[in-house]
Amino acid sequence: MGEQDSLTSPVEIIDLPEDLVDAAVALWQQTGLTRPWNDPHEDCRRALAGAESTVLAAVDARHRLLGTVMLGQDGHRGWIYYTAVEKSLQGGGIGKRLLTAAEDWLRDRGVPKLMLMVRQENAEVQQFYRGMGYTDQDTVVLGRWLDS
């Protein structure tokens, strides 16, 4: 369904307000972005509290959450996470607007490069990012838990 078909008011991109944190986590769960080993509420709170990170939200005039993108930067690279759009609105341009807003947020802070991770099996999302000009960086992402 397209954006015009599903929305009755304009979409605004804002920093995620505290009263929409639970809605953001519910959206992440509905779109399959959460994993049992990560606490999405804590991820969200940490990003909102950080000086070099935020969560951007797409909202309508009724303050209804339509989509999110979490982002941050380390001084060299920007990273985005939890990019999600309400399923009935996917394909209507909200994801592109969120991604563009994230890029602008990082660009305004002098960050030269944006990185993101997409699970191997998520071909549809990989196609979305490729359509926005993102390319495979020929890297392997390694990780390690800092808590024992």
Which domains are delineated in the chain?
A: 3-131 (3.40.630.30)
Per-residue pLDDT, 86: 96
Per-residue pLDDT, 120: 85
pTM of this structure: 0.88
Per-residue pLDDT, 84: 96
Distance CA 31, CA 19 (A): 20
Per-residue pLDDT, 3: 40
Q: Give me the long-range contacts of 93-98 (CB less than 8 A, separation at least 24).
A: 93/3, 94/3, 94/11, 94/58, 94/66, 94/67, 95/67, 95/128, 96/132, 97/11, 97/13, 97/58, 98/13, 98/56, 98/58, 98/67, 98/68, 98/69
Per-residue pLDDT, 9: 67
Write out residues in the chain with pLDDT < 70, as ranges.
1-9, 148
Per-residue pLDDT, 148: 66
Per-residue pLDDT, 58: 98
Per-residue pLDDT, 97: 96
Q: Which of 66, 121, 33 minimizes the C-alpha distance to 43?
A: 33
User: What are the start-end ranges of the H helices in the chain?
Assistant: 3-6, 21-30, 40-49, 94-108, 123-131
